[in-house]
Structure 1
């Protein structure tokens, strides 16, 4: 995760936490993730990538690197990261603490603790990146365990779950990507509240009562975002789906 992208994600979270744009109930987090992944599977080829990300407020660091480092070390230990072991990588740059650890099935967990410039607060981001071949039941179990650990630490925030991969070959979207997008919206029992289209990208923000997590965009509530992007080099359409929003490049 680049420094710029970390700051963007933290910025989104700050807006949500302090202006009430994000609504989330932890007890429903696993159900939201399971629904997102299970519905997406038939629409993607086997090379998909899955991301679980939790972002929340984590006390005060006053923008001081030493305090950020201390907060990061304390949280990493609570989450089961064993500092300075062979399978981990730790760094502290410009007020951003990062530690990575490999877990089962080629998944990588990253903990980032940061204190944005001009603020006293610390924010924590726990992110798991896994290949589409990973056992989804194990990913959901990991999410449940991390939710419990973060709650014990008094960290209040939100889960953001995303899946990305090439659209399934069995479903033709070469002639009408909008029809493909519409089919996915129906699969999530949703209604489109916002759209974006250009020559190579089609995206929809969707409200669906099937999901608990949500974010407000203006006056609209959004539970799921779906995006299609044409890779002009390969000629393949890349599909990205996220709840409550997409916070990765698509």
Structure 2
């Protein structure tokens, strides 16, 4: 239940950011080294990092037909060097082209979303790279390759980065906050806002360690760290994201 509540919070935060700020300040795509900085900061608090994810969503030029949509999907499959999907599927009224492959030890997935409009089809490209902590360097190389490929097409990808890990104990509120505060200190980040209850702590902030940031409540923000107790497995989970956490925690 708590997971659903806090996932809703993340979604509402995303909506709020769009409504309040109207736009994001992204002069560059998130640097690959950001993931390593997040990992090292979390591991300094005795967290065991398990998963790494980079994700971006890019609006592309509108199309006229589903056939053009499928052709565009095949084109992007070729650009990123992964297998092509055979057909376009539907999710409600949306057109979906989805496929995935491997770049070394990194899972690379692309998802084209087509939104029918009165006179054309609006198109969005979602690219995600996922992998395990032990393959961090491989993930960074794959990330750099994808950034290069998208930039070569005249696009500027705005990647979010998400790091997941665990503490092998159920931490109290105070210990969760202490771990997050240490991460913030190592990243030289200042707190902007927080959400906290008896088992979950989520703190958002701003650091000058990397340039990209968004605006929330008239303040810069580019890092978010959340912890929650997993009573079933007797451990505490930690999730770090930049500029915010975009995955369920």
Bin the TM-score by the shorter chain.
Answer: 0.7 to 0.9
Unaligned runs of 5+ residues in structure 1 are: none
Aligned residue for 2:96?
Answer: 96
Is 2:125 the counterpart of 1:124? Answer: yes
Is 2:62 the counterpart of 1:60? Answer: yes
Aligned residue for 1:241?
Answer: 240
**3-state secondary structure, aligned to 1:43:** coil
Distance 1:99 1:91, change over 3 A: farther
Query: Residue deviations 1:3-43, cap 9 Å, x none?
Result: xx9xx7xx87x959x932242413x6123233223322333
- Quote how far apart the aligned CAs of 1:218 are: 2.8
Aligned residue for 1:19?
Answer: 22
- Quote how far apart the aligned CAs of 1:67 are: 3.2
- Quote how far apart the aligned CAs of 1:195 are: 0.3
Instruction: Indicate if the aligned counterparts of 1:115 and 1:122 stay in contact, CA closer than 8 A.
Output: yes
Instruction: Indicate if the aligned counterparts of 1:225 and 1:244 stay in contact, CA closer than 8 A.
Output: yes
Aligned residue for 1:36?
Answer: 38
TM-score normalized with structure 2 length:
0.81
Distance 1:249 1:186, change over 3 A: same
Q: Structure 2: how far apart are the matches of 1:235 and 1:61?
A: 50
**3-state secondary structure, aligned to 2:68:** helix
Instruction: Indicate if the aligned counterparts of 1:195 and 1:205 stay in contact, CA closer than 8 A.
Output: yes
Distance 1:22 1:55, change over 3 A: farther
Aligned residues: 230
Aligned residue for 2:184?
Answer: 185
Is 2:111 the counterpart of 1:112? Answer: yes
CA RMSD of aligned residues (A): 2.8
Q: Structure 2: how far apart are the matches of 1:153 and 1:41?
A: 36
Aligned residue for 2:204?
Answer: 205
TM-score normalized with structure 1 length:
0.80
Unaligned runs of 5+ residues in structure 2 are: 1-7
Instruction: Indicate if the aligned counterparts of 1:32 and 1:212 stay in contact, CA closer than 8 A.
Output: no
Q: Structure 2: how far apart are the matches of 1:33 and 1:110?
A: 19
Distance 1:229 1:114, change over 3 A: same
Q: Structure 2: how far apart are the matches of 1:141 and 1:241?
A: 20
Instruction: Indicate if the aligned counterparts of 1:24 and 1:214 stay in contact, CA closer than 8 A.
Output: no
Query: Residue deviations 1:151-206, cap 9 Å, x none?
Result: 1112233011111011266xx84362222221111111101101001122100111
